[in-house]
Amino acid sequence: MIPPIASRFVAGESPATAFDHARRANEDGVNVILNLLGEHYRERVPADEDTATYESLIADIGASDLDVCVSVKPSQLGLDVGEGVFRENFRRVVEAGREHGVFVWCDMEDATTTDATLDAFEDLAREHGGGVGQCLQANLRRTREDLDRLDDVPGKLRLVKGAYDEDESIAYTDKANVNEAFREGLELLFSRRDGGIAVGSHDPTMISYAKELHAEHGGDYEVQMLMGVREEAQRELAAEGVEVWQYAPYGDKWLSYFYRRVRERKENLLFAMRAVAGV
């Protein structure tokens, strides 16, 4: 069982607990993106198993009245085993989404995976005319060109700052430069796309900037934040009429995800220490 300390960031271990969480978030006007925890499989079997789990999760979401979609990780669907395995499994998940009316997002992992991920996304999005969305990382120097390339691709694009430590030759490593690249990425998205724009950030400055760009250019957009991070702000934005999606991971592989959340921010670390100390 997930200890209470981790349950701030993880929606339980089973689809049932994840659905309970989603129902509560939906009641507050917040939509939910479910992610089954799992990544970097070196063998095909677990990648195929997670693909099958996503297929049945999607069927259950489709049969429910919840505002829920899913987000997969390339290495969870077998990218470390081979690009062909990833493409096959990604296609299965997207086709299940299409069958049951459930949107499918694809996360972006480290820079060695960017080409394979974007190629698979572009092919599926063009083939299906939407129903699938891709995350892009503002910290990568290439992202401006990737946004050009994906300009007319159907589906949605989620811009994030980027969670992976990358070499300076391929990435902005200074916070100010990443923020500048994020702003430029938002400008490109809002000035060119009619909609399907997702702002994946907790940063109030970036969310305000997205609102300004929306007022200037129009185009449907949504704000995406993680479960357990600025949840009050998520509810407030939803109450203002902004479309908010909360990324909520679930599953038994929660420990490394929880450590990542705790390590990335001093406040989260203090929260974890207080919970352990019982204060």
* Contact positions vs ligand FAD (CB under 6 A): 107-108, 135, 137, 160-164, 200-204, 224-226, 229-230, 247, 265, 267-268
Note if 151 is an active site residue: no
For the record, the structure tokens of 217 come out as 């250019």
* Cβ nearer to ligand FAD, comparing 51 with 137: 137
CA–CA dist 22, 19 (Å, integer): 5
Q: Minimum CB separation from ligand FAD for residue 62, in Å?
A: 22
Residues 6+ apart with CB under 8 A from 213: 186, 187, 190, 191
Note if 107 is an active site residue: yes
N-term to C-term CA, the chain: 22
Q: Minimum CB separation from ligand FAD for residue 125, in Å?
A: 16
Most distant CA pair in the chain, distance:
53
Q: Minimum CB separation from ligand FAD for residue 199, in Å?
A: 9
* Cβ nearer to ligand FAD, comparing 99 with 174: 174
Residues 6+ apart with CB under 8 A from 156: 103, 105, 130, 132, 133, 134, 196, 197, 198
Q: Which of 87, 158, 193, 261 is catalytic?
A: 158
* Cβ nearer to ligand FAD, comparing 57 with 186: 186
Q: Minimum CB separation from ligand FAD for residue 205, in Å?
A: 7
C-alpha neighbours within 13 Å on the C-beta side of residue 153: 25
Q: Is the dihedral of CA 119, 120, 126, 127 positive or negative?
A: positive
Angle, helices 266-277 vs 255-263, to 10°: value is 120
Q: Minimum CB separation from ligand FAD for residue 197, in Å?
A: 13
Q: Which of 107, 146, 193, 261 is catalytic?
A: 107
* Cβ nearer to ligand FAD, comparing 59 with 166: 166
* Cβ nearer to ligand FAD, comparing 32 with 153: 32
For the record, the structure tokens of 39 come out as 């990544």
Rounded to the nearest 5°, which phi and psi values hold at 160?
Answer: -125, 170
Q: What is the DSSP letter of 250?
A: E
Q: What is the set of active-site residues?
A: 107, 158
